[in-house]
Amino acid sequence: MKKLIMLAVMIEFVFVGISNAQDPNHHHKFDPNMFVGRVIVTKDTKGVVTAVQFESRRRGTYNIVLDAKGKELAEKMADKMVVITGTVAAKNNENWLTVEKYNELQRPPHHRHDPGDPNRPHDPNRPDGPPPHGHGDEGGK
């Protein structure tokens, strides 16, 4: 009889654990004001920022509003992967993103940066296409 009661209690714990694991409130909700992507900065010949764009693989390209926060983003996060919280407005058939806050997206320490990665957004300051294989680290060959 004791074994039967213990078995019933164990089965109840298993079912309670499964139902808690399937609770939809434990999932992160989609935030329409959060964007993940790369900051692309365009400068004139004197080094003055003329435009800032934000490229997101999932959401497309946005122009950054160059207010104080937009200029700060350009200065500190050029060509970096970031998470931006902000608002979007459509003007002249283009999407404009007003930055409220941002953080650099940190890669795991074991992740090696590959400039030829096809998933990396295109940098307008880099010539088209990935560098040829064997270009760069050839050990003096």
The per-residue pLDDT for range 27-49, each reduced to its tens digit, is: 557 788 899 999 999 999 999 99
The distance of Cα 107 from the centroid of its chain, to the nearest Å, equals: 10
Rounded to whole angstroms, the Cα distance separating 21 from 140 reads: 56
Tell me how far apart the alpha carbons of residues 131 and 115 are, in angstroms, rounded to a whole number. Answer: 8
pLDDT at 117 over 90: no
Q: Does pLDDT of 140 surpass 50? A: no
| Residue 95 located in a structural domain | yes
Domain-located, residue 28: no
Is residue 22 domain-resident? Answer: no
Boundaries of domain holding 55: 34-103
CATH classification at residue 52: 2.40.50
Q: What is the pTM of this model?
A: 0.57
Would residue 79 count as lying in a domain?
A: yes
Determine, yes or no, domain membership for 61.
yes
What residues contact residue 102 under an 8 Å CB cut-off, 6+ apart?
Answer: 69, 73, 77, 82, 83, 84, 85
> The tokens of 69 are what?
């926060």
Question: How many domains in the chain?
Answer: 1
Indicate the burial class of 89 (C-beta count within 10 angstroms; 0-12, 13-18, 19 or more): exposed
**pLDDT > 90: percent of the chain:** 48
Residue 119 lies in a domain: no
Does residue 41 sit within a domain?
yes
R_g of the chain computed on alpha carbons: 24
Question: What are the start-end ranges of the E strands in 7-133?
Answer: 34-43, 49-56, 60-64, 81-91, 94-104
